[in-house]
Structure 1
Amino acid sequence: MIKKSLKQYCSEIDLWDTWMNNYKKYVPLFIKEATTKTDWETWDEDVFKEFFERSNGQCVSSLKQGYFTKNERQQIKEHWNELAPLLKKIADSQYHPLWEVYQEIKQWIRRFTSQDRKAATNRLIASLQPNLLCTIVNEDNLWELFSKLETYTTVEHIDFVGGNWFINSHKISNLFQKVLQPQDAMDIVTYPWQVLEHLRYIQGEKNNTNNYIEEKKELIEKNYNLILTGAPGTGKTHLARAIAKAMEAEYDFVQFHPSYDYTDFVEGLRPTPPDNNGNIGFERKDGVFKSFCKKALNSKTLNAIDNFNECWDKLINILNEQDYLQIPLLSGKSSFRLELNVNGDGLTNRTYENNDYSKDAWIHGMSKFFSKEQIYNVYRGLAGVPSGGHDNYRKAIIQYMIQNVGLLPYSKGTELFDSNKKFVFIIDEINRGEISKIFGELFFSIDPGYRGRKGLVKTQYQNLITDTTDPFYKGFYVPENVYIVGTMNDIDRSVESMDFAMRRRFAWKEVKANENTGMLDSLGNLKDGIVKKMNRLNNAIWNEETNEGIEGLSAAYHIGGAYFKKLELYLNEDASNLKEAYQKLWENHLRGVLFEYLRGSFNAADNLKMLEEVYYSEDITNDGVERQ
């Protein structure tokens, strides 16, 4: 979570003027009466009522519950001559806290109350020291403010002293005065409480967002496959990632497009480096989804040892720095010169004419090539290539890596079948690809009812898998800890339609523009006004409550929050140019997409003009608040 400064949060608050003005009216009178009067009956009647008699709606703090009872107030008034000197002491000390006097007043009042009226006592004292104590008189509420300041703001940690409201209140009062630097402390007395309420609201919004994500998380955990559909810009991809994070899952991401196919997704043939004669062959390679499923299966192993990838990178870096290495064969009788291939991603042992190692003396067609995959096969105790040719060279390379770059002896580890680690595969724009062509026989395996080995299928290049340690040596299946989230919108006229058999394998959830607005949180106090404008525009496109709108359109054509987030591109630092930023948003982003929505429809020009008028229909002040 991105934290903001306390000053930023204060700037997002509309000051509660009525409360502040009431406070500034009465508190100086409280101080005056307390410093000059020893008998409560000689106090100004209206001032005393506000100071002591009123419980709810009082100028310092409203106490609907927890205030002195009628009988307790009467007892205190009967002994007021004992309390008055203590009140005078604190009223006379406007810039120095009197910790002992506070405790003395607290203990004195406790003599006349049936229970410890902490908040009522705190309010009585805070009413006389506006420069030293804050207006949050309930100790639980004050602790909540401490906690929320630490969670949501950049304020350095403040030690909360348990059981001592006076010290804690003084710390909060000092903090707000230091941050806001008012000429008069009474100008900011409402801020501690208002900031607390503001942070409660933010937490509530966060909880709403968390609940929204939790709902989708539960949906995919029950169904394994989920498609998020909705209007463009509603944050479907962002939500997919948020769901994966809420599941504490490892996730990967791919975006489908018209040229994406089975060889990219499942497996296919890829060219190999040239052999000794310069001939290029083909070898089977896993696609992104199959590789992802392997990773999910590997998460179910215990004590596996395999640091090949990082050590391979170290070896490549060494060869980039010093051109070649002299590698001894395991027999110890000879060695060979090891270099990078021309692409810099594999190894080669070239043959040179007359030991002349210049580029011109390299004899083409007489070199040995070693790919990363071949070396990795040997590392795991397999043949580098099916024939096993030149594996004595590959074993020598492994030995060098063990001795020089920290390669550890390989261990497959022990399989665990109770792993709870989850893996989420996100397919963005899933309907932009030709689904049947991409998934192939996985059409069966992704069915929630056939997760695990019972969904095993033979893939198109199954017969080319020679590695018996490959978890999919006997066939492919989707592990039970793999979940699929797809995103799509139904209005893109250039994409494939998903057939009903494939649709049956997914749960579907529409993401509406007015539901997923968390992406606008970074716009701070502008967010509410932006959401209102977005909703107003969307209701003009199509109002779901009245089932009315532009003919030929629907809620699928709403404008999502991602479009309005682009306001950040045009706002200056203090957002004083909000009106101009809205104009640029319309001209550069919204007008174009709405024009496409309406292209070829009846009254397209008139409807576009109507939407523009709706967009600009209310004046926007620079604080983001919409005014009629």
Structure 2
Amino acid sequence: MLLESKNVIFRGAPGTGKSYLAKQIATDIISKGAFDDYTQLTAEQKQQVEFVQFHPSYDYADFVEGLRPRVNADGSMGFELQDGIFTRFVNRAQKNYDDAQKSAATIAKEASVQEQMADYFSNLELEDYTPTTARGTKFYIESVDERHINIAIPDNKVANKLSLNVDELRQMLESGQKFSQVKDLVVFFGKRNATQQYTYDLALFNDIKAQRRIRTKVAVQRVPMKPYVFIIDEINRGEISKIFGELFFAIDPGYRGIAGEVSTQYANMHENPEKKFSIPENVYIIGTMNDIDRSVDSFDFAMRRRFRFIEIKASERLDMLNVLGDSKKNEAIRRISALNAAISSVDELNENYQVGAAYFLKLATVDFDQLWNDYLQPLLQEYVRGIYGEDEIMAKFAHAYGANAAVAGEIDDESENQG
């Protein structure tokens, strides 16, 4: 169902194992049916799954992108644009999607360049090494990460710090072209004017090309397309329009890829402001929500149209209790069934208020009375708060569950008094 629909939301009563089911399905898809236990995934496979829980203060900056404080090399404070968790996840999926379209020859070329760059930067003594531009300007490489090469230019009194784009340097090396002057880069990148970064890109390009190294033959095979599953727990507890922003359009199953490209809110701050954001075909989204949560009613209707809703009933997830052993499992199922029947019999409640099997997994460390006193009773008291006769209703629940005799006997005492 997930592979067909792209986006699904599991809805139902609390404790029905919706989050656990989401991880099971993600694991099953990623392992191609080999297993459904998330802990069995390899570290590499776990990169294909991401889990986040929405809450009222969760926002666009957490999810898509936003400005975050950073300490500059000189100790001063500044801000930088950082990707949110969903953007980082989509970037991983997009890379796999793009790589799956490439030939073995292209992959071999990219792997060779990646090795070449890694050799160059790993062998540098960053503080001592000073590359030089075509005009003789010396600069230092302060740090290198996945996206940037941060350099210092002591002789530049106007801008003595600069951040170079790793991807631009990689593209130059992969192209197989020769670059002898800055204007060659302007043409290559399709720009109207040169940037200050191009001067230093050219210097590093020539330096890397000139390095002597033993070339190893990289074993290459075509990259298979992989599924990537993003799980949003309690999706309805966040302010959806604030979190997703313009991504409403991009997550639509009918507008994946180029058809659903959008400009994000901070596009003008990107290194390439013209680059659009899109979600590739190999991304799948699973949300979970509790039907009794007050925020369900305010769940954005535009978002509802983009998800397939699947109800998870309390009676459907009893298999979770297999870990308890037969004796305790059978007793737990008996009590769940009796308690949920009592809950559904209250006019103001319905099956959305039933108790799921996940609560009973706590029986691994507590007994049935402790489960009632510390977990189930407080939950049910919230359900019946404000309902006429709430004490009698709670006594009825306790009796159905089979709580300790002192509590369960209250309903019998009240019946005798009424008689």
CA shift for structure 1 position 376: 6.1
CA contact (8 A) 1:428 1:488 kept: yes
CA displacement at 1:290 relative to structure 2: 2.5
Match of 2:340 in 1: 538
Deviations 1:447-483 (A, max 9, x none): 2222222222222223333349xxxx54222212211
Q: Residue 68 of structure 2: which of 248, 253, 270 is its match?
A: 270
Match of 1:594 in 2: 380
Conservation of the 8 A alpha-carbon contact between 2:139 and 2:153: no
Q: Which of residues 227, 236, 254 in structure 1 aligns to 2:18? A: 236
Structure with more relative contact order (C-alpha pairs < 8 Å, separation 6 or more): 2
Question: 1:346–1:369: 8 Å Cα contact kept in structure 2?
Answer: no
- After TM superposition, the structure 1 = structure 2 runs for residues 214-229 of structure 1, keeping only pairs within 5 Å, are 219-229=1-11
Deviation at 1:611, TM superposition (A): 0.9
In the alignment, structure 1 residue 297 sits paired with structure 2 residue 83: no
Paired residues of 1:327 and 1:335 also in contact (CA < 8 A): no
Cα RMSD after superposing both structures: 4.5
1:362-381 paired onto structure 2 within 5 Å: 374=165, 378-379=169-170, 381=172
Is residue 480 from structure 1 mapped to residue 277 from structure 2 by the alignment?
A: no
- The residue aligned with 1:490 is 291
State which of 334, 351, 364 in structure 2 corresponds to 1:555: 351
In 2, Cα distance between equivalents of 1:455 and 1:445: 5
| Aligned-partner SS, 2:315 | coil
1:259 and 1:407 map into 2 onto residues whose CA distance is 51
Kept after mapping to 2: 8 A contact 1:226/1:484? yes
Q: 1:600 to 1:347 in 2, by over 3 A?
A: same
Give, in whole Å, the separation in 2 of the partners of 1:474 and 1:348. Answer: 25
Aligned pair partner of 2:197 in 355, 365, 388: 388
**Letter paired with 2:21:** L
| Closer/same/farther in 2, CA of residues 370 and 587 from structure 1, 3 Å limit | farther
**Unaligned ranges ≥5, structure 2:** 32-47, 173-184, 187-193, 406-419
Q: How does 1:315-394 map to 2 (within 5 A)?
A: 325-329=127-131, 374=165, 378-379=169-170, 381=172, 387-388=196-197, 391=200
| Unaligned ranges ≥5, structure 1 | 1-218, 352-364, 543-548, 571-580, 620-628
In the alignment, what sits opposite 2:27? 245
- Cα distance, 1:277 vs structure 2: 9.5
Match of 1:462 in 2: 267
Decide whether the 8 Å contact of 1:256 with 1:431 is kept in 2: yes
Instruction: Confirm or deny that 1:428 pairs with 2:233.
Output: yes
How far 1:617 moved relative to its partner?
6.6
Cα distance 1:569–1:369, how it changes in 2: closer, same or farther (>3 A)?
Answer: farther
Q: Does the aligned pair in 1 maintain the 2:90–2:279 contact within 8 Å?
A: yes
Q: What is the alpha-carbon distance in structure 2 between the residues aligned to residue 256 and residue 269 of structure 1? A: 20
Q: Which runs of structure 1 show a deviation greater than 4 angstroms over 4 or more consecutive aligned residues?
A: 275-279, 330-341, 345-351, 365-371, 373-383, 406-410, 413-416
Residue 451 (structure 1) aligned with residue 252 (structure 2): no
TM-score (norm 1): 0.47
Alignment of 1:39-50 (within 5 A): none
**TM-aligned CA deviation for residue 566 of structure 1:** 0.7
Q: How does 1:200-211 map onto structure 2 within 5 Å?
A: none
Equivalent pair of 1:378/1:391 in contact (CA under 8 Å): no
Secondary structure in structure 2 of the residue aligned to 1:550: coil
- Please give the TM-score of this superposition, normalised by the length of structure 2: 0.68
Q: How many residues align?
A: 348
Paired residues of 1:350 and 1:366 also in contact (CA < 8 A): no
In structure 2, the residue corresponding to 1:602 is in which secondary structure?
coil
Cα distance in 1 between the residues matched to 2:319 and 2:271 = 49
Secondary structure of 1:226's partner?
strand
Q: Distance in 2 between matches of 1:515 and 1:379?
A: 52
1:265–1:281 distance in 2 versus 1, CA, 3 Å:
closer
- Determine if the alignment matches structure 1 residue 527 to structure 2 residue 332: no
